[in-house]
C-alpha cells in the first residue's frame, strides 16, 4: 500500500510502498477514507515533537473496517469508524480510573512507534517501521487497536467526522470533560485554528455568556465569531491580557491555551480571575520550559488537557450525533482536500497559516 513515510529530520517525507501485516488479537484493519493534517504533524517534521523514525505519518482519520483480529467485538467488517489517536488498554491504573487518555501502555508504546502490544505492523523492504501515535493514517490502510476504531453512524460523512480522531475532539473534550464549563461563565481562547474553533463552539454550546477569541489573524477571528465567540482580540494590535481583563471585568473563569507556546501559556494564566482555571490544550515542544511566577499560580489551577480526558467510545459518537443534529459545526473546518500525492502541498498551505484543516484522501 502507499503511505507517507517520514525518514529523518530535515528530509521531506516520501510517498512509498510499504507493507502492512494483518491485525492481531484486539486489532482492526481499516481502509482509510480521510485523514486530517494536524499542527502536531508539522511539529514532528520540524523536530519539535520526538518521532521514532522511519515512521508512517498520520494520527486522525476515518474509514471502513475491512478485517478484524481475534477477540474484537465492538466493530465488524463494513462498519464506519473514526480512527482515534487515543487507544487505551482498559487494564492499567489510569484506564481503571477512567483516565483513558493517560493509558500507560499507550503512552509508552506510542513514543516507541508501536501499537499497544509493543510491536509494529508496518515494514518497508523487510525492515520494521514505526506507527505515528499508534495509528499511521496517511496511508491507504491502517491496523489499529480496537479502541482506536470507534464505530459511528453510517449516515455521517466520513470526510468530516475524521476530524474527531484528534483535532475536533481535542478542542471539544477539554471544555465538556476537563473544565466542564458552566452556563453563564466567561471564557478566553488563545488560538483560533482548528482546535481553537472547536473550543469556542463547545464553550458556546455549554452556555458560556462571554467567549473571547484571541489570535494574530483577522480572518481566523472572524471565523471564531461565526463559531460563537462574542469578542475577538487581535494580539498583534492589542495587549491581549489587558483586553481580556477589561472585557471580562477582572478576568475570565476559564482560559484555554490552544497554540503551544510558553509565552501564551503565561498569558492565559494572567487572563483568569482569582479562582479561575487555565487549561493548556496546545502541544508545546518537548524541551519547552514554562516559568510561572508564584503569584500567577495563586490565581487558580493550571492543567494540561491531553485529549480532553476523552472517552473515545462514548464521546466521539455523541459528537457525531450533535454534528448531525446541527449543534456542532465541522463542515466549515475542512478547507482543503488532497490526494496522498498532494501531502507536501497540504503542509505548505498549513505552514502559511491558510485554511483550517486539510484533509488527505489516501485512496483518491
pLDDT tens-digit series, residues 12-38: 999 999 999 999 999 999 999 999 999
pLDDT band of 355, cuts 50, 70, 90: confident
Grid coordinates belonging to 251 = 478576568
Instruction: Specify the DSSP class assigned to residue 10.
Output: T
Contacts of 278 (CB under 8 A, 6+ apart): 254, 255, 257, 265, 268, 269, 271, 272, 300, 301, 302, 303
Q: What is the pLDDT of residue 294?
A: 75
Q: What is the pLDDT of residues 73-99, one digit of tens each?
A: 999 999 999 999 989 999 999 998 888
Phi, psi for 282 (deg, rounded to 5) = -60, 145
Residue whose C-alpha is closest to residue 256's, from 302, 299, 319:
302
Can you state the angle between helices 262-271 and 240-248, rounded to 10 degrees? 20
**Per-residue pLDDT at 304 exceeds 90:** no
Q: 128 or 350, which is more confident?
A: 128
Check if the beta carbon of residue 16 is closer than 8 Å to that of residue 3.
Answer: yes
Strand order of the β-sheet with 272-280 is 231-234, 210-215, 186-190, 252-257, 272-280, 302-304
Please name which of 138, 131, 173 lies closest in space to residue 63, comparing C-alpha atoms.
138
* Distance separating alpha carbons of residues 35 and 41, to the nearest angstrom: 12
- Please give the Cα distance from 234 to 231 (Å, whole number): 10
Q: Say whether pLDDT at 290 is over 90.
A: no
Strands 357-361 and 272-280: unpaired
Res. 276 pLDDT band, cuts 50 70 90: very high
- Determine the Cα–Cα distance for residues 70 and 218; give it in Å rounded to an integer: 51
Model pLDDT, residue 126: 95
Q: Is pLDDT at 285 greater than 80 in this prediction? A: no
Q: What gap in Å lies between CA 312 and CA 100, rounded to an integer? A: 8
Q: What tens digit of pLDDT does each residue of 205-264 get?
A: 999 999 999 999 999 999 999 999 999 999 999 999 999 999 999 999 999 999 988 999
Residue 152 has pLDDT above 90, yes or no: yes
Most confident of 133-142, 279-288, 349-358: 133-142
Q: What is the pLDDT of residue 317?
A: 98
- Give the pLDDT score at 161: 97
Range with lowest mean pLDDT among 54-63, 101-110, 142-151, 295-304: 295-304
Q: Mean pLDDT for the chain? A: 94
- Beta strand 127-131 with 122-124 is antiparallel
188: nearest Cα among 98, 129, 268, 282: 268
Mean pLDDT value across residues 285-300: 76
Collapsing DSSP to helix, strand or coil, 352 comes out as coil
Residue 342 has pLDDT above 80, yes or no: yes
pLDDT at 356: 87
Give the relative orientation of helices 194-205 and 218-226 as an angle to the nearest 10 degrees.
30
Stretch 109-119: mean pLDDT, rounded? 95
Position 298 scores a pLDDT of 67
Tell me the catalytic residues: 38, 40, 43, 59, 166
pTM of this prediction exceeds 0.75: yes
- Residue 268 in 3-state DSSP? helix
Cell of 217: 489573524
Amino acid at each position: 500500500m502507499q503511505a507517507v513515510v517520514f525518514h529523518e529530520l530535515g528530509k521531506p517525507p516520501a510517498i512509498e510502498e510499504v507493507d502492512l501485516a494483518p491485525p492481531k488479537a484486539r486489532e482492526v484493519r481499516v481502509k482509510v477514507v480521510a485523514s486530517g493534517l494536524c499542527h502536531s504533524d508539522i511539529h514532528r517534521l520540524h523536530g519539535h515533537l520526538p518521532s521514532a523514525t522511519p515512521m508512517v505519518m498520520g494520527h486522525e482519520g476515518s474509514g471502513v473496517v475491512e478485517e478484524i483480529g481475534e477477540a474484537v467485538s465492538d466493530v465488524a467488517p463494513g462498519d464506519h469508524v473514526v480512527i482515534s489517536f487515543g487507544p487505551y488498554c482498559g487494564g492499567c491504573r489510569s484506564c481503571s480510573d477512567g483516565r483513558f487518555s493517560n493509558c500507560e501502555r499507550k503512552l509508552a508504546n506510542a513514543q516507541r512507534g508501536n501499537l499497544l502490544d509493543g510491536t509494529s505492523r508496518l515494514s518497508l523492504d523487510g525492515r520494521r517501521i514505526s506507527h505515528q501515535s499508534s495509528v499511521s493514517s496517511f496511508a491507504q490502510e491502517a491496523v489499529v487497536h480496537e479502541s482506536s476504531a470507534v464505530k459511528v453512524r453510517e449516515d455521517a460523512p466520513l470526510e468530516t467526522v475524521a476530524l474527531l480522531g484528534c483535532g475536533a475532539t481535542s478542542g471539544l473534550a477539554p471544555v465538556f470533560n476537563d473544565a466542564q464549563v458552566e452556563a453563564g461563565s466567561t471564557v478566553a481562547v488563545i488560538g483560533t485554528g482548528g482546535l481553537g474553533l472547536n473550543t469556542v463552539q463547545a464553550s458556546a454550546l455549554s452556555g458560556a455568556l462571554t467567549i473571547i477569541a484571541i489570535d494574530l489573524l483577522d480572518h481566523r477571528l472572524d471565523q471564531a465569531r461565526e463559531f460563537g465567540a462574542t469578542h475577538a482580540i487581535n494580539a498583534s494590535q492589542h495587549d491581549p491580557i489587558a483586553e481580556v481583563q477589561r472585557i471580562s471585568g477582572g478576568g475570565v473563569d476559564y482560559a484555554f491555551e490552544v497554540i503551544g507556546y510558553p509565552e501564551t501559556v503565561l498569558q492565559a494564566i494572567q487572563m483568569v480571575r482569582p479562582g479561575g482555571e487555565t487549561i493548556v490544550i496546545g502541544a508545546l515542544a518537548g524541551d519547552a520550559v514554562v516559568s510561572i511566577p508564584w503569584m500567577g499560580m495563586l490565581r487558580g489551577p493550571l492543567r494540561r488537557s491531553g485529549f480532553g480526558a476523552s472517552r473515545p467510545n462514548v464521546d466521539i459518537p455523541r459528537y457525531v450525533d450533535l454534528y448531525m443534529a446541527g449543534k456542532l459545526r465541522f463542515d466549515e473546518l475542512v478547507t482543503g482536500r488532497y490526494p496522498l500525492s498532494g501531502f507536501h502541498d497540504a503542509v505548505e498551505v498549513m505552514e502559511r497559516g491558510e485554511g483550517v484543516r486539510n484533509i488527505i484522501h489516501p485512496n483518491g
